[in-house]
Amino acid sequence: MFKICLDDDCHKIDECEACERNALIVCFLINAVMFGLELYYGLIAHSASLLSDSAHNIGDALILGTSVLVLGSTLASKAKLALVKSIVMFGFGILTMFYVVSNITTGHIPDHVSITYVGIFVLIGNVASAVLLLYYKNKDINLKSAYICCRNDAISSVGIIIAGLLIMLTKSNIPDIIIGGSIAILICYSAIGIFKESMQVISNDVFEDWK
């Protein structure tokens, strides 16, 4: 199995803390770059789907960055951070809906070329991030939440590419509205799931303290 650290004693990426830390750092950098790219072209193209996904990516960058800080912490501490991250995710989901409503009211048809090409680039980055975090998604709720974020982004990227192609074919902003709204729902649904699981871990920890 490949590794992403310089430790000569490392033989398995999923058993190495250095690989785990490096995976989170690489994913953080990827998401930060994708945020800037989607924000820039989203504003130029007036695309609800790109702008909404840029909001998702900056949330993911913050989530991945803070995940590095709690490596080696207790399960309860990681659950508390995951709880905060779920609230942040939900907030960005609501922000996404704002962009969708804005697109509906203005009726602007975004540039399909920018949407399609940016979507392809972002898809590659999101798949790479999801693959890196796949090895750690079952270790704890914190890493699971980071993996879910990158996985959702990969799904969203496919939708963005489809939106760009449909805008080209229909000359309508409806595909952009639908994809933007779908991303918002996906973000909120995942955030609620992480919130519930985090609360369960925290509740179990409190119960153990009382015993």
Identify whether the C-beta of residue 34 lies closer than 8 Å to the C-beta of residue 127.
no
On whether residue 11 sits in a domain, the answer given is: no
What is the span of the domain harbouring residue 133? 17-210
On whether residue 1 sits in a domain, the answer given is: no
Domain count, the chain: 1
* Residue 33's CATH number: 1.20.1510
On whether residue 4 sits in a domain, the answer given is: no
Nearest to 57 by CA among 36, 35, 87: 35
Judge residue 1's burial from the number of C-beta atoms within 10 Å of its C-beta, 0-12 exposed, 13-18 middle, 19 or more buried. Answer: exposed
On whether residue 9 sits in a domain, the answer given is: no
Please give the full DSSP string across 93-121, using - where no structure is assigned.
Answer: HHHHHHHHHHHHHH-----HHHHHHHHHH
Give the tens place of pLDDT for each residue, 92-139.
778 778 878 887 888 878 888 989 999 999 999 999 998 888 888 887
On whether residue 46 sits in a domain, the answer given is: yes
Could you tell me the two tokens for 125? 């980055």
On whether residue 160 sits in a domain, the answer given is: yes
On whether residue 7 sits in a domain, the answer given is: no
Give the tens place of pLDDT for each residue, 13-46.
767 777 788 888 888 899 889 989 988 998 888 7
pTM attached to this predicted model: 0.75
φ, ψ for residue 150 (rounded to 5)? -70, -35
On whether residue 76 sits in a domain, the answer given is: yes
